[in-house]
Amino acid sequence: MEGAFSFEKNERDMNNNKHAAMMERKQEMMQQRRDAGSIETNFPEVTSINMNMTYNQKGTKSILRTFHFIPSSYAFFIVNCLRKDCVDGGFDLTQVITTMVRNHRAEVKGALSCKGTDSSTNHSDIVYEVSIQYA
Ligand SMILES: [Zn+2]
């Protein structure tokens, strides 16, 4: 009985640590967002950005998420993986959008895989469509 109890306790501590680490990452992300500045500061010629993402994850139905950015939005284009416990994963569209703006492209499509470093194979892939309106 005692053995079972201590196992449970360890499990609980592990989850707490995981949770703390996740909160820390979340705060880091929020800080990164603030550091990124607004769309109008980074890309003054952009009036709006739309990102359509189709998430494909093994064993689940694909999910469509849409992100809309206006000039006062943070110029932060990292979205998370669908996997709850994903470590260091997510999808970084910063490069895609920066390149689009530099070349004044209105629409780009592509695909990305989660770069999560934990061992699970349950990370998601996305197919993205980005459209940008210019002033
Ligand atoms: Zn992931």
What is the residue extent of each domain of the chain? 1-36, 37-134
Q: How many residues does the chain have?
A: 135
pLDDT at residue 8, rounded to an integer:
58
Q: pTM of the entire structure?
A: 0.78
User: With bands split at pLDDT 50, 70 and 90, how would you rate the model's confidence at 7?
Assistant: low
CA proximity to 44, closest of 66, 76, 75: 75
- Cβ 110 vs Cβ 97: under 8 Å: no
To the nearest 10°, report the CA torsion of 8, 13, 19, 20. Answer: 170
User: With bands split at pLDDT 50, 70 and 90, how would you rate the model's confidence at 58?
Assistant: confident
Higher pLDDT, residue 101 or 115: 101
Q: What is d(CA 51, CA 127) in angstroms, rounded to the nearest whole number?
A: 10
Question: How far, in Å, from the CA of 114 to the mean position of ligand 1?
Answer: 5
Question: How far, in Å, from the CA of 94 to the mean position of ligand 1?
Answer: 17
What are φ and ψ of residue 9, in 5° steps? -65, -45
Whether 1 shows a pLDDT value over 50: the answer reads no
Question: How far, in Å, from the CA of 86 to the mean position of ligand 1?
Answer: 5
Higher pLDDT, residue 8 or 97: 97
Whether 5 shows a pLDDT value over 70: the answer reads no
Contacts of 90 (CB under 8 A, 6+ apart): 78, 79, 80, 81, 114, 115, 116
Whether 13 shows a pLDDT value over 90: the answer reads no
Question: How far, in Å, from the CA of 119 to the mean position of ligand 1?
Answer: 10
Q: What is d(CA 81, CA 115) in angstroms, rounded to the nearest whole number?
A: 9
